[in-house]
């Protein structure tokens, strides 16, 4: 493959990842906090952007998962590289804008930055939520080609709000999986990466799947792994994830990012993509390209 066609393929996968994140968020949000049984009796199989849910969303409307990712992405783009305070400032501006939803741990961390200038929340055994993992995609795009840069940027942004070994492990390994998927690696290769995580932290074992899809990062990642590795298309992966219920917008946002990177932009169903806000779609499309073009992968190849 020529350098140019390799780069074009990565750009498509990067757009797929960011659009996939937003699509998963918007599709899953109406099912957030429902059980599998409740989704089944209400929708049969939820496979369309219906809106509603506890946040009373418009069809296609995204929530904090996409919005926090945008905060990080814009910070990196605006400074032309990694900036922890830039990311924290954007999150602070976002929190002040009274977002439709924000997790308690995220709110606490961002408020500690606003009030005390804290950029690292102290270790806390209750910080095992999925709030760091759900916003990590932009960092994976920007650090493509440099595993140690991925690690340092990931831990910095994660610790703004979550300082917990399982959150760290999940967020870091999600970044590594995104790097592999963005560069066109195979499903078995991604599976091997997850095996490494399981060897270090057996909590993440997902086979047999326990059927928990809560906001606890262990449950979240088990759900993402279960749905991603058993499906064979972007659509099947995201539908499977959403219909587990629980923290459905966040599990589907993460699964959507991973599946979008793996299957590429073209694999995202048009009926979902069309429901996203046009301005949002244009911005995430542009940001995806801008972030990977800033990455070490594009600088050295």
Which stretches of the chain bind Mn ion, using CB under 5 A?
63-65, 247, 249-250
Nearer to Mn ion, 63 or 69 (CB): 63
Report how far residue 175's alpha carbon sits from residue 80's, in angstroms, rounded to the nearest whole number: 20
CB of 103 to Mn ion, least distance (A): 7
CB of 48 to Mn ion, least distance (A): 18
DSSP the chain: --HHHHHHHHHHHHHHHHHHHHHHHHHHGGGTT--HHHHHHHHSS--S---BTTTTBPTT---HHHHHHHHHHHHHHHHTS--HHHHHHHHHHHHHT--S---HHHHHHHHHHHHH--SSPPP-TT--BSTTGGG-HHHHHHTTT-HHHHHHHHHHHHHTT---HHHHHHHHHHHHHHHHHHTT--HHHHHHHHHHHHHH-GGG--SS------SBHHHHHHHHHHHHHH-SSHHHHHHHHHTT-SSHHHHHHHHHHHHHHHH-GGGS-HHHHTTS-HHHHHHHHHHHHHHHHHSHHHHH-
CB of 212 to Mn ion, least distance (A): 14
Nearer to Mn ion, 64 or 235 (CB): 64
Nearer to Mn ion, 53 or 264 (CB): 53
CB of 129 to Mn ion, least distance (A): 9
CB of 249 to Mn ion, least distance (A): 4
Report how far residue 38's alpha carbon sits from residue 276's, in angstroms, rounded to the nearest whole number: 25
CB of 95 to Mn ion, least distance (A): 14
Nearer to Mn ion, 63 or 121 (CB): 63
CB of 131 to Mn ion, least distance (A): 9
Nearer to Mn ion, 55 or 119 (CB): 55
Nearer to Mn ion, 150 or 170 (CB): 170
Nearer to Mn ion, 16 or 215 (CB): 215
Query: Structure tokens of 62?
Result: 């995204």
């Amino acid at each position: 493959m020529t350098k140019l066609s390799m780069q074009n393929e990565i750009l498509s996968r990067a757009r797929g990842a960011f659009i996939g994140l937003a699509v998963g968020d918007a599709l899953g949000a109406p099912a957030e906090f429902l059980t599998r049984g409740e989704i089944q009796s209400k929708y049969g199989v939820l496979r369309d952007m219906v809106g509603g849910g506890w946040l009373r969303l418009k069809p296609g409307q995204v929530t904090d998962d996409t919005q926090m990712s945008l905060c990080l992405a814009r910070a990196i783009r605006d400074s032309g590289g990694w900036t922890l305070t830039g990311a924290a400032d954007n999150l602070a501006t976002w929190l002040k804008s009274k977002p439709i939803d924000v997790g308690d741990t995220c709110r606490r961390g961002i408020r500690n930055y606003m009030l005390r200038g804290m950029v690292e929340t102290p270790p806390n055994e209750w910080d095992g939520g999925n709030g760091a993992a759900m916003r990590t995609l932009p960092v994976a795009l920007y650090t493509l080609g440099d595993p140690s840069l991925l690690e340092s940027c990931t831990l910095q942004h994660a610790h703004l709000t979550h300082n917990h070994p399982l959150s760290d492990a999940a967020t870091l390994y999600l970044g590594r999986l995104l790097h592999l998927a963005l560069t066109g690696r195979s499903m078995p290769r991604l599976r091997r990466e997850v095996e490494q995580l399981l060897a270090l932290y057996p909590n993440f074992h997902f086979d047999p799947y326990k059927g928990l899809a809560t906001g606890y990062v262990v449950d979240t990642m088990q759900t993402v792994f279960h749905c991603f590795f058993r499906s064979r298309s972007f659509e099947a992966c995201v539908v499977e994830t959403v219909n587990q219920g629980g923290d459905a917008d966040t599990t589907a946002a993460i699964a959507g990012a991973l599946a979008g990177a793996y299957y590429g932009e073209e694999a995202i169903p048009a009926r979902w993509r069309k429901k996203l806000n046009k301005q949002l779609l244009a911005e995430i499309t542009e940001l995806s390209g801008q972030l990977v073009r800033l990455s070490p992968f594009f600088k050295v190849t």
